Structures are given as structure tokens and as C-alpha cells.
Copies of this chain bind each other. A is one copy, B any other.
Amino acid sequence: MLTSMSKIVNHSARRLEIADACLAVVSRAGLSGATTREIAKEAGVSHGIIAHYFNSKNDILRAALQRSYQQLAERIDANLNGLSGTAALQQAIHDALPIDEEGRIGEQIELAFWAYGLGNAELAEERWRSYTEWRRALEILIRGAQAQEHLEGPDPTLVAETIICTLDGLGAQVALYPDRITPERMFAIMDATLAGFGFVTATDI
């Protein structure tokens, strides 16, 4: 209390709120519709205050992208409790699939940022960081699954890369044509991919 006599506002919490507002706008109107004005309106704050929390619009987008990745990572982590082996791998992949409305929106946001990253080294770097993290996490799960199934299978890195590519492709599909691919189809595609690497998935049984 003594240290700060100012209006009690949690600076980083407010930053997150604005980043979330940014994600909401992107999911509603696309990245091109995510103007600072619109983000401010969504966050319920004045336009000018944005500058108080972010240096530039790019700063907002980077924070939003981080937030988006973080949410996915937390969701996957939370569901891994107690699982191991192929079951754990499969669970992680299923969690990464955009099977509901929320997932679809997430993919659209992701896709929007992909393109934005083309001309924006900072955002591309941010995504590369999260890609690397995700790949490493998958490799661990893959090793676990290979151990369980006594596979001397292919290089876990290669498997992880393949899985991520397929997931990314599926994500793009869902983002662009929401109603043209069912969750079942996505499961089937991912199971086929996993089966190709020797993993017997639950759905196969």
C-alpha cells in the first residue's frame, strides 16, 4: 500500500487481458481486422491506453501469439496426467487436434499469425520457439511409446516432425473449411500416420 499510492492495477494482468482481447478480435475478424482500435474496444479500454501496456501493435500480436501457444501447451499437459506410452502420445495428439469450436478458432488464429510471420521476423521467431518446444515434447512421448511397444523404430525427431506437419496441415484445413472435415476423419488421419510408424493406437483395436 505504501509502496504504491496509484490506482491498483496489475500491469501484467492487464497486458494479458489485452492480449486475450486481441485473440478474440483475430478469431472474429481476422488479423487484418485486428486493429488497435478494435482490440481496445474488445478489451473495454480506451484506445490510447494501449500504448501504456504495449510499445507497438506488433508487441500486442506477439503477446497474443505467446498466449495462444501457452494455452495449447497447458491443455495438453493437463490431460497427460497418469498416461504413458502410446496412450500418452495419442492423447497429446488428440488434444492438439482442433476438434471443437475452440480448437477451430485457435487454428484460425494460428493460421493468421503464420502469414503475418512471413514479413515479421519477431513473430516468426516466436513461433519457431514454440515449434521447437512442441517437437521436443513430442519426441519424449514418442520415445516412451517406442519403449513400451519395443520398437526400434525410426528416429523420434523424424516422427515428431512428420506428426507436426500433418497436424499443421489438418489445422489449416479446419481453419479454412470448418465444416468440411469431421473430428473422426482427423483421428483417422492421425492414427494412420502413427500406425505408419508402428504404433498401435487405441482406435485401431
Contacts and interface: CB of A to CB of B under 8 A. Distances in A.
Interface of A: 29-33, 108, 111-112, 114-119, 124, 127-128, 154, 158-159, 161-162, 164-170, 172-173, 175-177, 180, 185, 188-189, 192-193, 195-197
A154 B192 contact: yes
Copies of this chain, whole number = 4
A132 to B, nearest CB: 10
Contact of A189 (B31, B127, B128, B161): B161
Given A33-B119, A117-B176, A169-B169, A158 B108 contact: no
Contacts of A177: 124, 128
A119 B128 CA distance: 25
Contacts of A32: 116, 119
Contacts of A154: 192
A131 to B, nearest CB: 8
- Looking at chain A's contact residues, the main secondary structure is helix
A172 B128 contact: no
Contacts of A195: 196
A166 B170 CA distance: 8
A119 B29 contact: yes
B175 A170 contact: no
Nearest to A165: B169
Given A112-B115, A119-B32, A166 B162 contact: yes
A189 B154 CA distance: 11
Contacts of A119: 29-30, 32-33
A93 B58 CA distance: 36
Contacts of A161: 185, 189
Contacts of A172: 114, 168-169, 172
Contact of A169 (B115, B158, B167, B196): B167
A193 B118 contact: no
Contact of A162 (B29, B159, B193): B193
